[in-house]
Amino acid sequence: MSRSLLDVASVREYLSRRLLCSMETNDKVLALTFDDGPNPHHTPRLLDMFAAKGIDATFFVVGRRVRRFPEILKAVQDAGHEIGNHTNHHIPMSLLPPALLRREIRVCGELIESTTGQRPRFLRPPMGWINDYVLKTIRSMGYEPVIGSIHPQDSRRPGRDKIIQRVRKRVEPGSVIILHDGGWWLGVDREQTLEAVDILTDELLEAGYRFLTLSGMCPRLSPHSPEKPASPGTPPRQ
């Protein structure tokens, strides 16, 4: 059975000492997060679904998609959702030279701010590739790095029921769920994700959970995020 690294407790513990993975709380709150948009086929459908259910979510967007679909990003903002930085081209950050690393962060942030008038608070590293230098750079540029605590690997299209099963197995108060409304190409099929989200949100709302943006769930620094920057480390190898 395919497992996400976030299914391994020791990995979650290691990551949670270095960046935001979840929120330690007894309140039945969750953060739904979506990567790789905005996508013209899937993001608007999620917005309609969430409007009907009273759900807030966080969308980690890619700069090159924002440049092409600014109106969709504005619709995300107008609907009350949070927008996060997912870099300009979705390249593993730990493979980038320092200047290009900073450019990937800066360009996406500028595109978001010029479109919405607001600067993002959070940044999610593409594919979770990080090292000390990446984390130091993210924080030095004014962002809080975040991964999440549940990754059902929906981007691999394992089937609607498998996505649902993987979330059900691990969901708990304060979870941050990683999902995808976009992908590397515009025609990516995220139907399984949308179907799974529709079913899961109904179940979790019925169970008394509330869905908040990351800032709504973590108004201050989370107990699961570092209270000071990680050590500088060394730049990524070239």
CA distances to 76, 82, 169 from 92, rounded to whole Å, are: 25, 23, 29
Closest listed residue to residue 61, CA positions, set 101, 80, 89, 21? 89
Is 7 one of the annotated active-site residues of the chain?
Answer: no
**Would you give the distance in Å from CA 135 to the centre of its chain?**
16
Among residues 35, 56, 154, 181, which one is catalytic? 35
Among residues 42, 151, 180, 224, which one is catalytic? 180
The C-alpha angle with vertex 93 and arms to 6 and 187, in degrees rounded to 5, equals 80
| Long-range Cβ contact pairs of 127-131 (< 8 A, separation 24 or more) | 127/92, 128/5, 129/92, 129/93, 129/94, 129/95, 130/18, 130/19, 130/93, 130/94, 131/94, 131/233, 131/236
Is 180 one of the annotated active-site residues of the chain?
Answer: yes
Which of the residues are catalytic? Answer: 35, 180
